[in-house]
Amino acid sequence: MKTKSNWSDLEAGAYDIVARLVKAGYRALWAGGCVRDGLLGRSYNDIDIATNARPEEVLRIVQRGQTVGKAFGVVCVPWGGHTYEVATFRKDIGTTDGRHPREIAFADERADAMRRDFTINGMFYDPLRDEVLDYVGGRADMERRLVRAIGVPRERFREDYLRMLRAVRFASVLEFELEEATEAAIRELAGWITQISAERVREELTRLLVESKHAGRGIRLLERTGLLAVVLPEVAALAHQPQPPEFHPEGDVLTHTVLMLDAMQERDAELAWTVLLHDVGKPRTATLQRLPDGRERLRFERHAEVGADMARDILRRLRMPNRVIEVVTHAIANHMRFKDVQKMRRSTLRRLIGAPTFPLELELHRLDCLASHRALDNHAFLVRAQEEWQSEKPLPPPLVSGHDLLSMGIPEGPEIGRRLRVLYEAQLEHPDWNRERLLELAREV
Distance CA 78, CA 84 (A): 6
Q: Where does residue 377 fall: left (phi above 0), alpha (psi -120 to 50 degrees), or beta otherwise?
A: alpha
Cβ neighbours, 10 Å, residue 323:
9
Residue 194 DSSP symbol: G
Torsion of CA 364, 366, 367, 373, to 10 degrees: 130
What's the pLDDT score for residue 396? 77
Give ∠ CA 402-404-406 in degrees, rounded to 5: 70
Element (H, E) at 298: strand 296-300
Report the distance separating Cα 322 and Cα 315, nearest Å. 9
d(CA 196, CA 308): 26
- The CA distance from 45 to 133, in Å, is 21
Question: Are 241 and 283 within 8 A, CB to CB?
Answer: yes
DSSP 419-437: HHHHHHHHHHH-TT--HHH
Residues 6+ apart with CB under 8 A from 32: 48, 116, 121, 122, 123
Strand partners, 118: 149
* Listed residue (121, 245, 230) closest to 176, CA to CA: 121
Q: Which residues of the chain have pLDDT under 50?
A: none
Which residue ranges make up each domain of the chain? 1-141, 145-227, 232-392, 402-444
Q: Which residues pair with 156 in a beta bridge?
A: none
- Determine the topology of domain 232-392 in CATH: Hypothetical protein af1432 (1.10.3210)
Per-residue buried b or exposed e for 294-319, using 16+ beta carbons within 10 Å of the residue's own CB: eeeebebeebbebbbebbbebbeebe
Distance CA 54, CA 329 (A): 49
Give the integer Cα–Cα distance in Å for 189 and 170.
18
**Secondary structure class of 135 (helix, strand, coil):** coil
Q: Which SS3 state, helix, strand or coil, does residue 123 take?
A: coil
- Looking at the DSSP assignment, which residues form a beta bridge with residue 149? 118
Which pTM value belongs to this model?
0.84
Task: From 50, 47, 57, select the one nearest 24 (Cα to Cα).
Answer: 57
Q: H helices within 240-343, ranges in order?
A: 253-263, 269-277, 282-285, 303-317, 322-334
**Strand extents, DSSP E, 116-176:** 124-126, 131-133, 146-147
Q: Are 333 and 304 in contact (CB under 8 A)?
A: yes
The maximal CA–CA distance of the chain, rounded, in angstroms, is: 90
**Contact in structure between 312 and 329 (CB atoms under 8 Å):** yes
Tell whether domain 145-227 is in CATH 1.10.110.30: yes
Q: What SS3 state is found at 125?
A: strand
Tell me the per-residue pLDDT of 388-422, one tens digit each, with 9 for 90 and over.
877 666 677 888 888 888 888 888 878 888 888 88
The listed CATH number (3.30.460.10, 3.40.50.620, 3.40.1050.10, 3.20.20.105) that belongs to domain 1-141? 3.30.460.10
CA distance 356 to 394: 11
C-alpha span between 133 and 70 (Å, rounded): 26
